[in-house]
Amino acid sequence: MAACTSRTREMMGLLRILRHFPQNERLLSTSILRHAAASDGPPKFTPPTKPVIDKTQKEASLRWFLSPEFIPPRQRTNPVKFSVERKDMIQRRKVLNIPEFYVGSILAVTMTDPHVNGNLNRFVGICIQRSGKGLGATFIPRNVVDGQGVEICYELYNPHMRKIEVLKLEKRLDDNLMYLRDALPEYSSFNFDMQPVHYEITGDIPVSPVRRSIKSKNEAKTMMMEHAQKWAEPWRPCDMLKEYDTFSLEEQIFKERAEENTPKNGN
């Protein structure tokens, strides 16, 4: 141990002498110190500092959610346009609280309507589609009212929008629930007086386990045949010449005259 200490002292003395040559000072100093450290033994282990956890941070801010209309489409677009729209959307969100919701969530939307008592119209339904980017973002809730399916396409940043309330936050495996049009009515029927269902803000979004039941094969086949017959000759209702087409009528008249002129047996 004494030999190592004396050797270190000799190297440090040599380093003081070589300081008169600044061009080689850095190279020699690092090499000498490295050699001295290797001769003295391995360096002492220093444990890392413990991370500081801010306990005042709210749990609600731990889950990060970005509304899909903020992401521009994957095509040739003008970045300046979407940048200006994003600033406008952020300013509008300061006035209107747009909550987190997905396709499959049950929403209550309140809009300003001058034709309704109180100038407010409230609609409850399941979100079956979200589309559009930027200020053109839309969503469609669906509900069955008096046995009739009702769908309303709302603009998310419409100035007439008053309130968007999430009655039940959940999502489906599909990004589009348009197939609910062919499903049984109970899968799209919701009470307008439905109370909000409590959910954890920091937990995972629940995925609905509901499996829809499509109409029977015979009903679906009948609907397809009716649809096909409707569009087989779409020009017929607008065909103005069919009123002046007398070819089939002339054939019928000639046939009747021929039957009248033909002598009957026994005459």
Q: Could you tell me which residues come within 8 angstroms of residue 202 by beta carbon, excluding any fewer than 6 positions away?
A: 59, 60, 62, 63
Q: What is the pLDDT of residues 207-216, one digit of tens each?
A: 887 766 555 5
Q: What is the pLDDT of residues 74-124, one digit of tens each?
A: 776 778 888 899 999 999 999 999 999 999 999 999 999 888 888 899 999
pLDDT at 81: 86
pLDDT at 60: 47
Residue of 226 and 134 predicted with greater confidence: 134
Provide the mean pLDDT of the chain: 78
Triad 109, 113, 116: Cα angle to 5°? 105
Mean pLDDT of 20-33: 52
Q: What is the pLDDT of residues 226-249, one digit of tens each?
A: 777 777 777 776 777 666 666 777
Nearest-CA neighbor of 86 among 106, 104, 64, 69? 69
Q: What is the pLDDT of residues 45-67, one digit of tens each?
A: 787 777 666 555 555 445 677 88
Q: Could you tell me which residues come within 8 angstroms of residue 125 by beta carbon, excluding any fewer than 6 positions away?
A: 106, 107, 141, 142, 143, 150, 151, 152, 188, 190
Query: Does residue 73 register a pLDDT over 60?
Result: yes
Query: Does residue 159 register a pLDDT over 60?
Result: yes
What CA–CA distance (Å, rounded) separates 79 from 68? Answer: 17
143 membership: H or E segment, kind and range: strand 138-145
Query: Does residue 131 register a pLDDT over 80?
Result: yes
Range with the largest mean pLDDT of 42-51, 67-76, 154-163: 154-163
The rounded percent of the chain whose pLDDT value lies above 90 is 30
Question: So where are the chain's domains?
Answer: 2-40, 68-217
CATH architecture, domain defined by 68-217: Roll (2.30)
pLDDT at 144: 94
pLDDT at 17: 62
- Record the tokens describing residue 30, joined without a space: 């690092």
Mean pLDDT of 128-140: 93
pTM of the complete model: 0.57
**Lowest mean pLDDT across 5-14, 51-60, 213-222:** 51-60
Give me the residue label for tokens 């609600």. Answer: 60
